[in-house]
């Protein structure tokens, strides 16, 4: 690899969300720059009164709509997709996003989101997004 590719940086931006009803999601403040090939951890902690929340990581590439990257819940705590992984740790209310080797193509905005559970739904629990995309 030449010097340019070896020192190529990956820009990662993340935002802080605050919800209603006492629910909130807090991410590491950005933007953050990491070297290509280096590991990355994006912090996400949450507060909710829900005993069975769903946590999500979305990724938004330049000029694209956000898309779901990972989802975690008590029933399925560890999630993995495209080299990214996150584990829902309810004891410390965290759902940190990790990737062992970042690439230039991973440059994007990453969002952590929280949804509470709708109880009593036919066929089991469903989740109801609560609009954490406000600017």
Q: Which residue has the higher pLDDT, 49 or 1?
A: 49
pLDDT at position 24, please?
A: 86
Answer whether residue 129 is part of any domain.
Answer: no
Domain span at 61: 3-119
Answer whether residue 135 is part of any domain.
Answer: no
Answer whether residue 131 is part of any domain.
Answer: no
b/e sequence 30-56, b meaning 16+ C-beta within 10 Å: eeeebebeeebebebbbebeeeebbbb
pLDDT, average across residues 113-131: 55
Span 86-116, pLDDT tens digits: 999 999 999 999 999 999 999 999 999 998 7
Instruction: Quote the CA–CA distance of 70 and 84 in Å, as a whole number.
Output: 8
pLDDT at residue 29 above 60?
Answer: yes
Length of the chain: 135
Answer whether residue 70 is part of any domain.
Answer: yes
pTM listed for this prediction: 0.72
Whether the bond between 31 and the residue before it is cis, its omega within 30 degrees of 0, is yes
Answer whether residue 112 is part of any domain.
Answer: yes
Q: How confident is the model at residue 10 (pLDDT cuts 50, 70, 90)?
A: low
Answer whether residue 44 is part of any domain.
Answer: yes
pLDDT at residue 122 above 70?
Answer: no
Q: How confident is the model at residue 27 (pLDDT cuts 50, 70, 90)?
A: confident
By the 8 A CB rule, do 12 and 32 touch? yes
CB atoms within 10 A of CB 129: 12
Mean residue pLDDT of the chain comes to: 79
pLDDT at position 23, please?
A: 82
Our count of domains for the chain comes to 1
What's the CATH number where 83 sits?
A: 2.60.40.10
pLDDT, average across residues 42-57: 93
Answer whether residue 25 is part of any domain.
Answer: yes
Answer whether residue 38 is part of any domain.
Answer: yes
pLDDT at position 11, please?
A: 56
């Amino acid at each position: 690899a030449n010097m340019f590719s070896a020192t190529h940086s990956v820009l990662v931006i993340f935002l802080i969300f605050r919800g209603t009803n006492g629910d909130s999601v807090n991410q590491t403040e950005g933007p953050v720059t990491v070297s290509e090939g280096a590991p990355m951890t994006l912090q996400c902690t949450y507060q909710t009164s829900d005993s069975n929340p769903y946590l999500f990581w979305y990724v938004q590439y330049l000029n694209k709509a956000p898309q779901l990257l990972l989802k975690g819940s008590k029933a399925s705590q560890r999630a993995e997709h495209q080299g990214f992984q996150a584990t829902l740790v309810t004891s410390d209310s965290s759902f940190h996003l990790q990737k062992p080797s970042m690439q230039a193509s991973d440059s994007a905005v990453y969002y952590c989101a929280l949804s509470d559970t709708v109880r009593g739904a036919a066929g089991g629990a469903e989740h109801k997004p609560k609009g954490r995309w406000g600017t």
